[in-house]
């Protein structure tokens, strides 16, 4: 029994050491708050003129559970974005979606088809690209609007 406990301790120690390696540094460079400097979201709904809107606000990244990262806040959606990291780029889970009330007896489902958040070599700025669509259902009518976003960010707080 004593040897089994020592073995569990050894395995846990090795696992924690592995987590503190290169993969931990890759994720760590994302963690914190990033402020949008510039960028635009293009929205298109059937039968309407496409709109372009400047992005503003922040994205806040933390360590994820079930993914490398999770956003606590985002400029493009009120939903959390889950992402996995490769080098200095976070890639969102394909077909990530969440549904919410629209506040007027309808629902809106945000589907992110493509998401990428890439950090510059100096670690102080990043670019974000995303695309997807929003399914809005109200009074038995469904409208499927698409969006594309491209923006640049500056790191303001490291956690």
Domain residue spans of the chain:
2-158
Residue 132 tokens, joined: 């997807």
In this predicted structure, what is the pLDDT of residue 2? 40
Q: Pinpoint the alpha helices (H) of 35-149.
A: none
pTM over 0.75: yes
> CB–CB of 111/95 below 8 Å?
yes
Beta strands in 29-140 (DSSP E): 32-44, 51-54, 58-63, 69-73, 82-86, 89-92, 96-101, 107-119, 125-138
Q: Express each pLDDT in 53-77 by its tens digit.
A: 999 999 999 999 989 999 987 888 8
Residue 128 tokens, joined: 């974000």
The one-digit pLDDT tens for each residue of the chain (159 residues) are: 444 333 333 333 333 333 333 445 589 999 999 999 999 999 999 999 999 999 999 999 999 998 999 998 788 888 889 999 999 999 997 667 888 888 888 999 999 999 999 999 999 999 999 999 999 999 999 999 999 999 999 999 776
d(CA 113, CA 126): 20
d(CA 71, CA 78): 10
């Amino acid at each position: 029994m004593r040897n089994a406990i020592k073995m569990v301790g050894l395995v846990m120690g090795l696992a924690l050491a592995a987590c503190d390696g290169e993969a931990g540094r890759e994720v760590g460079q994302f963690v914190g708050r990033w402020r949008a400097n510039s960028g635009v979201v293009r929205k298109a709904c059937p039968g309407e003129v496409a709109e372009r809107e400047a992005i503003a606000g922040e994205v806040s990244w933390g360590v994820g559970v079930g993914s490398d990262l999770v956003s606590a806040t985002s400029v493009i959606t009120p939903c959390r974005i889950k992402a996995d990291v490769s080098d200095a780029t976070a890639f969102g889970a394909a077909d990530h979606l969440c549904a919410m009330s629209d506040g007027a007896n309808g629902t809106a489902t945000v589907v992110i088809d493509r998401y990428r958040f890439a950090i510059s070599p100096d670690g102080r700025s990043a670019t974000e690209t995303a695309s997807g669509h929003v399914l809005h259902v109200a009074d038995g009518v469904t409208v499927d609007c698409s969006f594309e976003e491209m923006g640049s960010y500056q790191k303001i707080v490291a956690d």
